[in-house]
Structure formats: C-alpha cells, structure tokens
C-alpha cells in the first residue's frame, strides 16, 4: 500500500537540523577516524581554516591545537582579530553569516564562506567558542547546535578566538582521532603558509621555505636527480624535480586546501611547464616525456574558488587557466636559464624518457593488437555506468573491485550497484613487478588489462574510478595477491596511491548466529563478543574466501556500510625502501624480521 502524501508529510527543517540530517552534504563521509578524509578531520579543518584566514590577512602568526585523544576533544586557539563580540553567536550558529562575503576583509579565504563552523557546531555534542577582542571577551557554549549559555566580560588575554568541540557520538558513533593524520594536516598548513607557527599538543610545526620544504620532505636527497626548482609569486607557487621512479606525482593546493584530484590549476601548471621547457630547449617534447619521473607541488590563490564538491578535492575555475599557463611558462624559462646545470639534467632526463617511450612503442603496439584479437572489450571487466570525470555527480561515487578469481567476482557482480561499481577479475597471482622495467607493463597481459581498465596509461588524470579497491581473500594467498597489486601500483603509478585512490576491502571473517539473530564479525574479538551475546544455540561460520559469501550477504558489505582501509604512504621516499625490504630479493634482514614476528599458533591454542 502506498504511503500517504499530503500536507502533513511535508517537513521544513531549519539550517542546523538540515546539517544534522544530511551531514554528508557538508562534511562528506562520516567514517570512524581511520581515514584522513573522515568527517571528524573535516570538522577540525574547518575550525583551523578560520585561523589560517586570519594569518593570510596578516593578523596573528600562531595557532595552538590541542587534541585529547581519549575524550575526542579538539581545542584551537588563534591570535588574530577575534570574532566581533556582538556577532559571536551568529557566526557559529547561523548559516550564511560571516565576514568572508566581504572581499575587503578576507581576500583568499580557505573556509566555507559561512558554513564550516556552523556545521561543526551542529555536529558536536559539545561546542565552545570564546572571542578575545580589545580587552573584552564573549563566550558561548552549544550542544548539537543549540545555545546552552553565554557570558561576556573583561579579559587580559591577547586578541583571538578559541574554539573547542567534541563530535557528537549519536552521529559519528564510534570514532577516534589518529595523531598521524592530524600531524600531516598540520605540516601541510605550515608548508602552505610560510612563517606560520603551529603548536600541536606542544610540538612546534613551522616552515620557512613553503612548498620547497614539502617537496624535500617527500623526496629524500638521495632520490633527487637534481635540487628542486622553486618559484613563488603573489598568487602562484610551485616546485618540482625528477626522480628515478616511473610515473608522475603532484601535490596541488588551492588557498591552502589540498586538492587530491587536481583540477584546472594542476592541468594549467602541466601545460605551462611543457611550454616553458620547450621554449628553453627549442624542442618539441611531449608532456608525458617531460613529466615522467617527476614529483612536484603547486599552490594557487583564487579569490572565488569553485570546487566540484563540498570536500573540495578538485578545482573547477576555468578562467584561471590562461594566466597560470603563462606565469608558469615564464617562470620555468627563467629558472632554467638561471640554473644551467640543473637545466642540463632536466633535458637529459626528458631525452631519456622520450627514447624509452619510443622503444616501448613496438611493445605497446603488440600488446594492443593482442588485446584486439581477444576482444574489443577489456577481458574480465564488468564495468559500471558512471565514471570519475563524468558530468554526473555519480562519477565521484564510482569504484572498481580488483578480485582474485571468478568465484569471488561472481559474488560481487551479483550484489554490486551497476551504476557506480565495476569489477575486474584477476587470473591467479599477479607478477611481482618490483625492480622490473616499464616494458613489463605491456608484456604482461594481466597488468596491461588492469592499466587499461583504469585508463591510466597516458595520464593519471584519466582515472575512471574514484576508488580502486583490492578485494582478496583473508588468507595467506589473498594477502600475497594484495601485496603484489600494491607493489604494481607503487612501482608504475605511485601517484594513484599518493592521492588516496587505493583501498583494501574489509570483509567479515566470521558469521555468528542463532535462530533469532546474526552477527558478522571482522575479528576474533568481535566473534567472541557475539558468542557471549547470543549465549545459546550458537552457530559459527568461518569465511575462508570471498566466494563463500552469498550475493545476498555480500551486498551489505559493499553498500553504504562498506568497510575500506586506505593504502597510505607517509612520504614519497618511503616507497622504494619499503618495496625493497618486502618485495625485493630475499635478504637476511627480511628473514630475521619474519622470524621475530612469526606467530606460534600452538601457543594460541
């Protein structure tokens, strides 16, 4: 029977109620703190962004951040102008209230133009704000966006604003702040705002040289083919260098916001870089040859940035392309003339890349001809309708599962959402490509098909899926296949991993049930807890492989409650030594590591 639809079913929500009901529209995914893009980190970012905006406008050069990891409480204190005392409550609780609409006050704001702090307030079980201004203070305390109390008076403290919040456990359920994620975000703020001193739980975080410090932190000196070239203008800053690695990796930012998926500023930088190199060398190099093996950072300041989503992962302003291309081209030409020895090494690397590409041309042609004989479509790929980069908003939800074998892929294919979820089935164990040359990518049919399915042969910006998910069995073979795939991406396409596109699917290890209830458990601890809860008539099933999970059961594991573990890399320079240790030739060091960490199963029984 159809539900009644009349005047009584129409609801009107105030702004804060809407934020709580549709929190994903404001802070993206909720998560539990295990992913750097989870909502609790976006909330932290929105509060700190306001402090950064004060620094950008030359008011206050210090921000203190305190995190109580046990209580889950964040405290941010800046030493800017302080919120105008008569507008404190409105600025943190009323949507579309703020000074960032006034270009005379904030010219290159990082924040959300009157939404960010209000969203934090609405999504917090405790929210406290205190503004110090001209010897006076005003403070207010909120619970889930509702004002509890306010107070004002005199103060001897320096001007500025203090904000405290605890995310609401009704919305975020079980969460925990991870020090590593917050620390990395703090360092990004420091790199993007030279001269700003941040204190994170007492530790001072500071950068003198901006993006140059970031690049030197990511790429150790031993892996640099030459000292990085660095340019800093009024609205544009960039730095780059070449390494011995394959692929290209860029860290792009807009007004201090990290744009993992790039956008017009990054594509304009690449175009300007190519034009600058060609003008200097009097050659006609191709972009892929110039960028192969390159690691770079670019920051632009845009007065009215247009992002493709609330989480700001990709810039959409088209009017900035021309000016950025021209400024980058002129800056690159000047840098190459200024540093002739570095320019010589850059041209040598580009010529080497060009030669390698031409040598690979025959191998590429052979691989493509071989694929055409098999099928015009990519073998073993069950594609989805929407892809990353499509005009549809569904494209940002797209994902592809890389599975081992047909039985596992059959369960996922039968239970997936064909609009946004694709499946690629691997045949057996992939090749260990560590230490292999680029031509192996085309000689190995399996690896070539993976690259083709993702559409990343020419440029990572062509990636067809927002998330690349490794879906392997939770046994020794599954772990090995997972490591081989991670090695493949880190060897040839490290930018895909560095920009947060690679994940591991977490599926339950046990099903614990009786006649009344069923629990799916992801660890032995969860299994034991479920057994105690059910008490009588308990039946335990151990899932040995993905193929043992029925499509009806599998659907709940890859829908809205999907559990994904992001594959992260602390620094670019960590990639090679890590792969060398785990995936290189057998060494005494690795043997010792295995012996020291080997689990004695007999002791566990």
Instruction: Render 362-397 in DSSP notation, one character per residue.
Output: HHHHHHHHHHHHH-SSPTTEE--S--TT-SSGGGGG
Q: Which helix (H) or strand (E) holds 401?
A: strand 399-404
According to DSSP, the residues that pair with 253 across neighbouring strands are 258, 299
Predicted local distance difference test score (pLDDT) of residue 1:
47
What is residue 16's three-state secondary structure? helix
- The answer to whether the beta carbons of residues 166 and 144 sit under 8 Å apart is no
Each domain of the chain, given as residue ranges in start order, spans: 16-205, 211-357, 376-507+553-604, 510-542
Matching fold, domains 16-205 and 211-357:
no
- The answer to whether the beta carbons of residues 199 and 187 sit under 8 Å apart is no
Query: What CATH fold (topology level) applies to the domain 376-507+553-604?
Result: Rossmann fold (3.40.50)
For 180-219, write each residue's pLDDT tens digit: 899 989 999 999 998 999 999 999 999 999 999 999 999 9
According to DSSP, the residues that pair with 315 across neighbouring strands are 263, 307
Burial 510-547 (b: 16+ CB within 10 A, else e): bbbbbeeeebbbeeeebbeebbeebeeeeeeeebebbb
The CA distance from 152 to 146, in Å, is 18
How long a stretch of residues is the chain? 605
For 436-449, write each residue's pLDDT tens digit: 887 888 888 888 88
Predicted local distance difference test score (pLDDT) of residue 589:
78
Predicted local distance difference test score (pLDDT) of residue 419:
92
DSSP-derived secondary structure for 533-599 = HH-SS-EEEE--SGGGS-HHHHHHHSSTT--EEE---S-GGGHHHHHHHHHSS--HHHHHHHHHH--
Two tokens, residue 21: 């009901």
- Burial of residue 343 (CB within 10 Å: 0-12, 13-18, 19+) is buried
Q: What is the CATH number of domain 211-357?
A: 3.30.230.10
Domain 16-205 annotated CATH 3.30.450.20: no
What is residue 78's three-state secondary structure? strand
Predicted local distance difference test score (pLDDT) of residue 368:
64
Predicted local distance difference test score (pLDDT) of residue 2:
53
Q: Which helix (H) or strand (E) holds 139?
A: strand 136-143
Closest CA to 478 of 423, 408, 382: 408
Q: Which residues contact 52 (CB under 8 A, 6 or more apart)?
A: 63, 110, 189, 193, 196, 256
Predicted local distance difference test score (pLDDT) of residue 367:
66
Helices 179-192 and 211-218, axial angle in degrees (round to 10): 140
**What phi and psi values does residue 338 have, to the nearest 5 degrees?**
-70, -35
- Give the HSE-up count for residue 213: Cα atoms under 13 Å, Cβ half-sphere: 15
For 295-324, write each residue's pLDDT tens digit: 999 999 888 888 775 556 788 888 989 999
Predicted local distance difference test score (pLDDT) of residue 604:
39
Q: Which residues contact 604 (CB under 8 A, 6 or more apart)?
A: none
**What phi and psi values does residue 377 have, to the nearest 5 degrees?**
-95, 160
For the entire predicted model, the pTM comes to 0.75
Mean pLDDT across the chain: 85
Q: Which residues contact 390 (CB under 8 A, 6 or more apart)?
A: none
- The answer to whether the beta carbons of residues 92 and 127 sit under 8 Å apart is yes
Predicted local distance difference test score (pLDDT) of residue 357:
86
CA 565 vs CA 33, 80, 160, 469, 522: distances in Å: 11, 38, 38, 9, 13
| Residue numbers in the chain where pLDDT is lower than 50 | 1, 5, 10-12, 98-107, 110, 112-114, 375, 601-605
């Amino acid at each position: 029977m159809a539900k009644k639809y009349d005047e009584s079913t129409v609801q009107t929500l105030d702004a804060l109620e809407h934020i709580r009901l549709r929190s994903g529209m404001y802070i993206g995914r909720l998560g539990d703190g295990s992913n750097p893009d989870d909502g609790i980190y976006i909330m932290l970012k929105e509060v700190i962004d306001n402090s950064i905006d004060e620094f950008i406008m030359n008011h206050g050069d210090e921000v203190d951040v305190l995190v109580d990891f046990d209580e889950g409480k964040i405290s941010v204190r800046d030493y800017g102008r302080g919120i105008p005392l008569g507008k404190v409550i409105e600025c943190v609780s009323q949507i579309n209230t703020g000074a960032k609409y006034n270009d005379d006050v904030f010219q290159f704001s990082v924040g959300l133009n009157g939404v960010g702090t209000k969203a934090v307030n609405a999504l917090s079980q405790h929210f406290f704000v205190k503004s110090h201004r001209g010897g006076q203070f005003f403070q207010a305390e909120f619970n889930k966006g509702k004002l509890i109390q306010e107070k004002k008076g005199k103060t001897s403290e320096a001007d500025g604003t203090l904000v405290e919040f605890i995310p609401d456990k009704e919305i975020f359920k079980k969460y925990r702040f991870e020090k590593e994620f917050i620390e990395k975000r703090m360092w990004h703020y420091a790199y993007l705002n030279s001269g700003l001193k941040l204190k994170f739980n007492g530790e001072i975080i500071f950068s003198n040289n901006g993006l140059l410090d970031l690049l030197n932190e990511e790429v150790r000196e031993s892996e640099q083919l030459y000292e990085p070239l660095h340019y800093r203008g009024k609205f544009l800053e960039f730095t780059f260098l070449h390494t011995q690695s394959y692929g290209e990796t860029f860290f792009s930012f807009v007004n201090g916001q990290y744009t993992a998926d790039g956008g017009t500023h990054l594509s304009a930088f690449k175009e300007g870089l190519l034009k600058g190199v060609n003008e200097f060398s009097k050659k006609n190099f191709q972009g892929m040859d110039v960028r192969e093996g390159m690691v770079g950072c670019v920051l632009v300041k845009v007065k009215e940035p247009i992002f493709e989503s609330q989480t700001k992962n990709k810039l959409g302003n088209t009017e900035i392309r021309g000016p950025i291309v021209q400024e980058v081209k002129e800056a690159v030409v000047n840098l190459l003339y200024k540093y002739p020895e570095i320019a010589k090494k850059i041209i040598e690397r580009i010529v080497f890349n060009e030669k390698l590409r031409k040598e690979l041309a025959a191998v590429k042609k052979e691989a493509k001809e071989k694929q055409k004989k098999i099928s015009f479509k990519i073998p073993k790929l069950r594609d989805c309708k929407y892809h990353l980069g499509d005009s549809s908003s569904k494209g940002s939800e797209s994902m592809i599962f890389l599975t081992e074998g047909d039985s596992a892929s059959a369960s996922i294919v039968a239970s997936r959402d064909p609009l946004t979820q694709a499946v690629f089935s691997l045949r057996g164990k992939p090749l260990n490509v560590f230490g292999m040359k680029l031509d192996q990518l085309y000689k190995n049919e399996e690896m070539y098909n993976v690259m083709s399915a993702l559409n990343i042969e020419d440029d990572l910006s062509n990636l067809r899926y927002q998330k690349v998910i490794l879906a392997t069995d939770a046994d020794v073979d599954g772990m090995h296949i997972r490591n081989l795939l991670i090695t493949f991406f880190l060897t040839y396409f490290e930018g895909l991993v560095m920009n947060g596109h690679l994940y591991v699917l977490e599926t339950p290890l046990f099903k614990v049930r009786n006649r009344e209830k069923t629990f799916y458990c992801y660890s032995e601890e969860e299994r034991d807890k479920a057994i105690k809860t059910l008490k009588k008539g308990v039946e335990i099933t151990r899932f040995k492989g993905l193929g043992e999970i029925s499509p009806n059961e599998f659907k709940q594991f890859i829908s809205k409650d999907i559990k994904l573990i992001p594959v992260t890399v602390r620094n670019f320079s960590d990639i090679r030594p890590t792969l060398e240790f785990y995936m290189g030739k057998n060494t005494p060091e690795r043997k010792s590591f295995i012996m020291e960490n080997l689990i004695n199963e007999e002791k566990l029984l």
